[in-house]
A and B are shown apart, each in its own frame.
Chain A
Amino acid sequence: MNPVASDDIAISEGLCFGYGKQLVLEDVNFSITKGESLCMIGPNGGGKSTLLKLMLGLLEPNEGSLSLFGKSVGEARRQVGYVPQAVRFDPLFPITAIDIVLMGRLDRHRFGFYSRQCRAAAMAALAEVGLQDAAQRPFSDLSGGQRQRVLIARALACEPELLLLDEPTANIDLSVEEQFIETLTQLKGKMTILMVTHDLDLISEIGDSVLCVNHRVHRHSLPLSGETIREIYSGVRRVEHDRRARHHQGDHSACAHD
């Protein structure tokens, strides 16, 4: 095995995982260095979400090991903040933004009311994503982008050292995406970030490098070449992403302009 650098906060060695007999991830080896921002990409069904769940401790590896902060995933749970996709939630659930953010403090809370420190931390987290004025607004009244930012604030309220995000821009209007990416850019460097995303804008703005997950895991440095993207998605490229990638590289031939 490779010598382990002291500032590696996540190390996966020979990790295998499958649902039943079918292996989803095989011989996965990678490490994440403290403070870097990694984007996890790959085709659907390639194992991105599974790897995320393994890192959250929601699944256990069949073989091999995965450690966070030199500890088991379970023991490191408090140091990890998780941002799921906002579309997963019941839109009618009666809850305010601040109450959602306070859930990030659940492990510091026993019973009764949340402490004053918890409330202050939750408000600070909301301010960090620019939503301090929306604290008392119901979740259902917020836009898709705002909901996703509330979930980021909730993860920040955990005071994480590692932030895991699952397709944070997947359901966000293009018009507010820029603002959203800005929120994430501000977090870059403050903590280690690992996000699943197909969004090439996000990758180019935030990512230091990418982790390509397709049954096995490879690391690529940025920027990605079209060839690499083709390899990663095994030819099943998403037309939209390809177009936007070329758009970024100055090739506008495929863009429909008025």
Chain B
Amino acid sequence: MTEFFDAVQNIPLIRYALLAGIVSSLTFGVVGSFVVTRRIGYIAAAIAHSILGGIGASIYFSRVYDLPWLTPMIGAVIAALLSAFVIGWVSLRAGEREDTIIGAIWAFGMASGLLFIHYAPGKAVSLESFIFGNILLTSRSDVIATVTLGAIILLLVGLFYHKLVAVCFDEEFSRLRGVSSDAYYLLLLAITAISMVLMVRVAGIILSLALLVLPAATASRFSRKLWIIILVSIGLTFIYNTGGLALSFELDVPTGPFIVLVASLVYGLSFILKRMMKA
């Protein structure tokens, strides 16, 4: 373990990764609890996959039209928000089956991303870090983005916590009390979308959903109070992020898969633990 602490002190990249992990555990713990509670895990997964479309498009357009400001991060945020609003609008208004549109966005995002990257001029783009994530590639600007977006999410949830909970629990009643249920549902999807962008940096497109959902799912096996679930999720995500980073550095295994594997095992153990507590 000393090797890891040395690295934290001496290697800025590790320091950034650790900082991003710590900050994002707050965001992920909060948002993950809402995603699990409102049962919108599959929407989060579709958004995560659509992010590849945004990343691909931003790489393509920034190279073809020489737009250096158009970073993959900006492309990812735009794609995630756009998918969230399309899914939200369709499920609220268009009367189409929600799972169908989730599947369509999921595939469209991946397909367009792969095509954009294929046709992007210049040096070949490695897809691996996007698909599987690589927290060790976190740069200083990523940390700034993580902190900024995380702060915005936490502020929004803090301000509108009770309204979000009410809309998640009973959309109809909230509307009767003058709360714009549709707007708050879209807000929840937007918050989820931004979280997925941050999440993809850590765990990649494929594994990010697990990291968002598993801590809250584990926590909700032991509590029926949302604020407790949120606090436990934050704690678990913090342990997974920092512990996963340290151990994967020591053992030289890929961080994302390692973290997700541990999170899944803990979730599995929670079933056994719950059973033992009952007995």
Contact = CB atoms under 8 A, between A and B. Distances in A.
Contacts of A57: 176
Nearest to A108: B177
Contacts of A99: 165, 226
A109 interface: yes
A57 B176 CA distance: 8
A104 B174 CA distance: 9
Contact of A56 (B176, B223, B229): B176
Contact of A111 (B159, B223, B224, B229): B159
Given A94-B220, A94-B225, A112-B159, A106 B172 contact: no
Interface string B162-204: 1101101110111111110000000000000000000000000
B158 interface: yes
Nearest to B179: A106
A217 interface: no
A154 B172 CA distance: 13
Contacts of A183: none
Contacts of B166: 103, 106
A66 interface: no
A141 B170 CA distance: 18
Contacts of B170: 84, 89, 103
A103 B168 CA distance: 12
B63 interface: no
Nearest to B230: A94
B162 A114 contact: yes
A138 B223 CA distance: 9
A109 B225 contact: no
Interface string B119-144: 00000000000000000000000000
A23 interface: no
- Binding site secondary structure of chain B: helix
B160 interface: yes
Nearest to A57: B176
A138 B178 CA distance: 25
Contacts of B242: none
B194 to A, nearest CB: 19
Contact of A94 (B39, B160, B179, B223): B223
A19 interface: no
A112 B225 CA distance: 18
Contacts of B177: 77, 103-104, 106-107, 158
Interface string B226-256: 1011000000000000000000000000000
B37 interface: yes
A95 interface: yes
A94 B176 contact: no
B224 A106 contact: no
Given A99-B165, A158-B177, A94 B229 contact: yes
A111 B160 contact: yes
Nearest to A80: B176
B226 A95 contact: yes
B172 A94 contact: no
B162 A100 contact: no
B176 A77 contact: yes
Contacts of B176: 56-58, 77, 80, 82
Contacts of A89: 169-170
A175 B169 CA distance: 28
Interface in A58-104: 58, 77-78, 80, 82, 84, 89-90, 92-96, 99-100, 102-104
A94 B173 contact: no
A102 to B, nearest CB: 7
A94 B162 CA distance: 13
B173 A82 contact: yes
A140 interface: yes
A107 B224 contact: no
A102 B229 CA distance: 20
A112 B163 CA distance: 9
A103 B170 CA distance: 9
Interface of B: 37, 39, 158-163, 165-166, 168-170, 172-179, 220, 223-226, 228-229
Given A56-B176, A93-B168, 13 more contacts: A57-B176, A58-B172, A84-B170, A89-B170, A93-B37, A94-B225, A100-B169, A103-B162, A104-B177, A106-B162, A106-B163, A106-B177, A109-B163
Nearest first, the 9 closest Cβ-Cβ pairs linking A and B are A138-B224, A106-B177, A111-B159, A107-B178, A94-B226, A107-B177, A103-B166, A94-B224, A106-B179
19 contacts: A82-B173, A84-B173, A92-B220, A94-B224, A94-B226, A94-B229, A95-B165, A99-B226, A102-B162, A103-B174, A103-B177, A107-B177, A107-B178, A107-B179, A109-B163, A111-B163, A112-B158, A113-B162, A140-B224
